[in-house]
Each structure stands twice: as structure tokens, then as C-alpha cells.
Amino acid sequence: MVKLELKNKVFKKPWPYWVGGIVLGLLNILLLFTTGAAWKVTTSFLYLGAGFLEIIGVNPSEWHYFSAYDNQLKHGETYFNNSLILMSAAMVLGSLLSVLLASQFKFKKLKNKKQFVFALIGGILMGYGTRLSFGCNIGAYFSAIPSLSLHGWVFGIFMFVGAWIGSKILFKYIL
């Protein structure tokens, strides 16, 4: 009985925001302490793309982006074999495990093609934007503010303003 209650409390019922915030903050500190690097997500997608391009014969290491900004891979690491890829894979597998333990996994049917097209375009624009800004909300906001970086606060303000404007556009013209 106690195990069932604990499973329901941990996996089925939503956590309070403050609990999730504390857990994420502690995990971010643990990551910084153990690896010496801040939490990043979108760089792993950059590495995956560069790795697939290498497979088909393109050499992204010669591109201006990687020569100007360094690919940040440590000695012996490749685009497919590095700590960021491992962390991203662990996040995806952990999310899947959590959904499976909560018995919440299901495929959803798309509402309409218009929603799919806008989601695809939005995802591409967000991915491109993260490379232009050298990070997503994880690196540019969540890891920057605990580091006492001013850019994290500026990013946060504009992120919330952009989300508000985007939601207004979404509900008025798309949904």
C-alpha cells in the first residue's frame, strides 16, 4: 500500500513547482560539480547533425562555425561519442521511463496538417535560433542565472515576453 502511494505521488501526480525547481537546481549543481560544465542541450543536436554529415562525406569541422567557436569536444571525443550526447540520451530515456512508470505513454493523433506544419516550422526556427544565440533556455537561462550572469536575466525577460507574444499569435491565427 505504501509503495503504491509513493509511486502515485512520485510518478502519477504532478509535483509542486517549487519541488521541481529545487530538484532541477540540485541536479544542475551536481552536474557542474562533477563535470565542470554547465547544462547544455542544443549543442548535442549540433553534434548529431555534424556527425551524420561526416558519415555522408561532409567535413563540418572545416566550417567557419567550428573554426571560430571551437567544437568543444575533449580529446578522444567524437560527434557521436561525448558527454553531451550521453546526457541528452539519458534525458530522453529518463523521460520515457518516467512516462512508462506513470502509465501515461500514448500516441496522439495530429489535430490537423496546419498544426503540424506550424510546429515543424517553429521547431526549425527555434533550433536555428539556439545556434545563433549559443544556447537554448537551458544554457542561456537556467545555467546562466545560478552563475550570476547578467545575460541570463536579460534572456529570461525576453523569453517570457516572446512566449507571451507567441501564445497570442498562436491562439489568434493558428489554433
pTM tops 0.75, yes or no: no
What digits encode the pLDDT tens for the residues 139-149? 777 778 777 78
What digits encode the pLDDT tens for the residues 86-138? 888 988 998 899 888 888 888 888 788 888 888 899 888 888 888 777 677 77
The per-residue pLDDT for 56 is 95
Q: What mean pLDDT is predicted for residues 67-83?
A: 80
Q: Provide, rounded to the nearest whole percent, the portion of the chain with pLDDT above 90.
A: 9
The per-residue pLDDT for 2 is 67
- Cα separation, 136 vs 36, in Å, equals 19
Report whether pLDDT(53) > 90: yes
Of the candidates 34, 3, 21, 167, the residue with the CA atom closest to the CA atom of residue 101: 3
**Residue 66: Cβ-neighbour burial (10 angstroms; 0-12, 13-18, 19+):** middle
Q: For the chain, give the mean pLDDT.
A: 83
Structure confidence at residue 82 as a pLDDT band (50, 70, 90): confident
In terms of residues, how long is the chain? Answer: 175
Cell triple for residue 71? 567544437
Report whether pLDDT(1) > 70: no
What digits encode the pLDDT tens for the residues 2-45? 677 777 777 778 888 899 888 888 888 888 888 887 777 888 88
Q: What are the DSSP calls for the chain, one per residue?
A: -HHHHHHIIIIISPPPHHHHHHHHHHHHHHHHHHHSS---SHHHHHHHHHHHHHHTT--GGGSHHHHHH---PPTT--SSSSHHHHHHHHHHHHHHHHHHHTT-------S-HHHHHHHHHHHHHHHHHHHHTTS-HIIIIITTTTTT-HHHHHHHHHHHHHHHHHHHHIIIII-
